[in-house]
Amino acid sequence: MAGSSFGRTFRITTWGESHGKGIGVVIDGCPAGLPLTEDDIQPYLDRRKPGQSRYTTQRQESDSVHIMSGTFEGKTTGTPISLMIINTDQHSSDYQILKDVYRPGHGDFTYDQKYGFRDYRGGGRSSGRETAARVAAGAVACALLRELGIEVMAWTSAIGPIRARTFDKAEIRRNPLCMPDAQAASRASAYLSRCMSDKNSAGGIIECRATGVMPGLGDPVFDKLDAELAQAIMSIGAVKGVEIGDGFAVAERTGRDDNDSFAMDEDGVARPTSNHAGGILAGISDGADITLRCAVKATPSIGQPQNMMHTDGTPVRMEIRGRHDPVIVPRAVVVVESMTAIVLADAILSGTTARLDTVKQAWNR
């Protein structure tokens, strides 16, 4: 299977399956000397792990990370960093009934068409559990970005039709839905309770913002920074749409309303005076906050009977059993944050050769 690696200089390769022995990631290209221990990574995995609230699958995984290589005495060595998470609470028997059935909304049919074989235990590589490996890599990327004064933060801006109307950064960690608006979180909780009572699921929107990003990241043609971000976020299994900056709203604006002008700030640095572009112009960061949003679909595994098809073509009507999230969005917040950080870390390291003076500075010449 190709396509398990992402990035050019800061490059990650994830491995493992939902119901295999474990999952993990290998990170290549991380500079030597970055302070890094398992305690730096674990808080990110704790935000994603299952069983934390009534709105997540009750699969009980500690998601404890183990650094297998790439560090010595608490710092990176410049060699590949290998991170491993052992699976401890798989209930593979829950999926036996689905062995020869194509579930709606899942990759069962498409996997069979491509490979002629699939791991039906929770979806294998297409399972959301794969994202734990991305989060582990994202924690390393965030550690690198912090050294440069860059912060990446994501939150839930909507659950179903319920949207956050206010923004309180501290509130994101206070409620299980990761919403920055306490009143919206309360309404969203009631909405999810109704979905759960109906044995149904919900989708939502995740928003992400990166602050402190320097101008000049990204390339102007195929490797545009916004194109890299879109690919990274769209590669998350449940994501069906991505917006950068004002996104689809720009279609309703005139050029006068949408253009971001520049002016010198109090430090004599050129800055955009508005940010409709989401911090990226011509595929290159402009120094403003990078902003993006993504639409996350409702969990396809629901308790209601659904029309399915047996692999022999026979129609089947059945309900999906097992432990599933009634909403994926809250656990996916840190995944979006992680993939954004990975893109930015890669862009920074890849961009160090763009100018001769930068190369000379790195080598004191």
Range of the domain at 205: 5-362
Q: What is the pLDDT, as a whole number, of residue 91?
A: 52
Q: What is the pLDDT, as a whole number, of residue 325?
A: 81
pLDDT in tens, 66-86: 999 999 999 999 999 999 999
**Cα–Cα dist 103/97, whole Å:** 11
Q: What is the pLDDT, as a whole number, of residue 23?
A: 93
**Cα–Cα dist 261/247, whole Å:** 18
More confident residue, 205 or 270: 205
Which stretch of 15-29, 57-71, 333-347 has the lowest confidence by average pLDDT? 57-71
Give the mean pLDDT of 26-35.
Answer: 98
Domain count of the chain?
1
pLDDT in tens, 327-355: 999 999 999 999 999 999 999 999 988 88
Residue 109 scores a pLDDT above 90: no
Residue 121 scores a pLDDT above 80: no
Residue 266's pLDDT band, with cuts at 50, 70 and 90, is confident
Residue 93's pLDDT band, with cuts at 50, 70 and 90, is low
Q: What is the CATH number of the domain that holds 77?
A: 3.60.150.10
- 153: buried, middle or exposed (CB in 10 Å: 19+, 13-18, 0-12)? middle
Q: Return the percentage of the chain with pLDDT > 70, whole number.
A: 92
